[in-house]
Amino acid sequence: MGYAKWTFAGHSTGGMIGIIYGIHFSTSLTSLIIVGAAARKYANSSSECIYHPDHPNFDRMQQLIETLKRSNLSHSEREIFSKERTKLSLFHPDKYDEYFSLGIHKKMSAARMNFFIREEMIFDVTRELEKISTNTLILSGRYDVQCPLSFSVEINELIPNSQLFVFNESNHYPFLEEKSLFRQVILTYLKEKVSY
């Protein structure tokens, strides 16, 4: 596309892809922005994660995932179950309609979910994080139940030239839950750390 360097920003699984990109192609990046992600398997290694059997909402999340994989759900049923699933990852679940009122749609692909579950069990790039040489901003909601804060702390400790910002009233979606502060943090970071 004609760009010598660019900034990669990714959330959740997109953040994991960003980490891998940063490991292999840091020289192509002006910076890396990782939001609510992990550098290794997290579902079965932290009871803070909603995908861990010891998490209090594990059973409900699993029921919702399996329900959403069904191809025979009506559009309205899919919306109801998807909304409930997303609410489990919000600091203020009652604000779901406010957060998702601007044409933002949260959908789940059964094929992608099945692939991800299999791959997540063997995912671990923590020993390679030191290869990321670009400036890196790591963002996390303090109450993230999908990729708990401890995984962002770990990433920050292992990537040189990184900084961590924690959103104190966010779960997995700080860019929606604390939108103004999120925007301010990103703009400040880009102004201070990134030169084009």
Q: Is the Cβ–Cβ distance between 49 and 140 less than 8 Å?
A: no
Count the domains in the chain: 1
Length of the chain: 196
The Cα–Cα gap between 18 and 7 comes to: 10
Write the pLDDT tens digit of every residue in 46-73: 899 999 999 999 999 999 999 998 989 9
The Cα–Cα gap between 67 and 84 comes to: 12
Low-confidence ranges of the chain (pLDDT < 70): 103-122, 195-196
Question: According to the model, what pLDDT value does residue 195 have?
Answer: 61
Beta bridge partners of 32: 8, 136
The whole domain housing 150 covers: 1-196
The Cα–Cα gap between 150 and 148 comes to: 5
Beta bridge partners of 10: 34
Supply the CATH number for residue 105's domain. Answer: 3.40.50.1820
Note the pTM of the prediction, 2 decimals: 0.88
The region that residue 147 occupies, defined by phi over 0 for left and psi between -120 and 50 for alpha, beta otherwise, is beta
Question: According to the model, what pLDDT value does residue 110 have?
Answer: 53
